[in-house]
Amino acid sequence: GLGELRVLSLLAKHDPDVQLPRLSLLDYFYHKVNSADETSSHPQHAQSPQLTTVSATCCVDRAPRRPQEHLIIVTELLDDSLFTFYKYIAATEAKGLRSYFTLDTIAKIATQLLTTLKFLHSLGLTHGDVKPENVCLSSISRSEVKLIDFGMVDEQAHVERHSCRYLRSEKKPVLGCLT
């Protein structure tokens, strides 16, 4: 929500030409839901020249209530996450994983991610949720990725101690460490 918008705006201010592999904020607006049948959008920002139309879906209670506003964040369109791409290659190609995820490709992806994390840390921020689902491909052929989902970004002053979180989801344990 607002925290992610704040971080994306800060990143855009410090990297206006998007030189780093990170998600780009194009626009944002509030979508007001008056009733189950009536909706309206109120842009709070001038639309970007690249942006022509935006459609949003949201869940609405059917009972008449006071108007609700939903923050809609408009970003660039990226390809699949590394996790989804990995599953697709593993399921469709016999040598797919070995042919795409070579040591050079993995090193290139890691370098891009570490560059972005270094930039975040230079601004006093910690991502807090780096995982394959939050790394999207921007170019499959050039092995270019972008870090997404800045909703758990925290100021480093709050995360000075070394802490590790073990996250478990369906069939894949993930270890995330913050230093």
Active site residue 80: no
Which of 17, 37, 129, 149 is catalytic? The answer is: 129
Indicate the helix (H) or strand (E) that contains 57: none
DSSP string, 66-89: S-EEEEEEEE-----BHHHHHHHH
Q: Say how far apart CA 34 and CA 4 lie, in whole Å.
A: 25
Contact 124, 155 (CB under 8 A): yes
DSSP state of 150: -
Catalytic residues: 129
